[in-house]
Structure 1
């Protein structure tokens, strides 16, 4: 797949880059994408949810009524889950939601996500740029020039530029990443992918290692 390289003013530079078919031209694997996104979301869960069971509730341990002759079910404690204010039966406990996925499956998931973006013509290649200082206004201007205003955008660099990163932090629907920091969730969540020209040269080597 061949794409034109544009500058930060949104104008074509006359250069073209070839996106490797070994990454962007594969048949996407939906199940691999599902598993990788599921793992990403699971790994971000705190897992600190907790409810009190009957042994942890503060309350009287006195038998609340006699065993027989009341016409209702027997009850031995006000802390029973059947009473209001009692303990929770089978409630959530703190746990770790993380699970393992093989490296090759995660690699396939990322390549599949990139292939979907290529199919949908949602990829832009921009020539390498840097900002002299952290300026949110300049970053917003670049987005507008590339017709990305209002879209969820993921900008990918070969190496992180601190000024660009700081300029993008307060811009809604915008995220900056390095090639090594790409994950399936962020790729699928973005409406448009913007690759810096130098990062394209490393894509095949990075995703087919």
Structure 2
């Protein structure tokens, strides 16, 4: 731990939010366009997908709601706006194409909810917050990619909407490891708890039955 990080924690940053009564799982953008290294927006994420599958299995066992997101546009030039000027590859994320499909390595059971979004946060421009409240969810376990982009934005918005954000350390991925590490530190200091997958699994299993 750096001196700066230790000083921040001494000053009251980084307290635990913990798990509440009812968790849901959110897997952010593990879509083909992001998880295939040969694609313009892609990177190797096999290990992180494997860890996300462990969370999926546990969520399925306890009947926790599961949400998966994808970024997809009918008209990228219009719907992505300035973001597509910043990231050219967003123009490849067209509805109905393989780029926007969930990675086939995810072990889904068909009961998951799919969110289609146009920007980084899974809350922005979607009904995710309303769905979570309708399901009496107060804790959102977050996995997916990228840690410094859509995962971080979703964790920030989860906090802002009043949900306890729990980010799964080994089940989040980024194209740039320095950005990944810094974003996890930032989330853990300010917006939610960054926990090992094993610790999250223990919490979920305690809710079985």
TM more than 0.5: no
Q: Rg: which structure is higher?
A: 1
Sort the TM-score into its range (normalised by shorter chain). Answer: under 0.3
Q: Which has the higher helix share?
A: 2
Length-normalised TM-score, structure 1? 0.27
Length-normalised TM-score, structure 2? 0.27
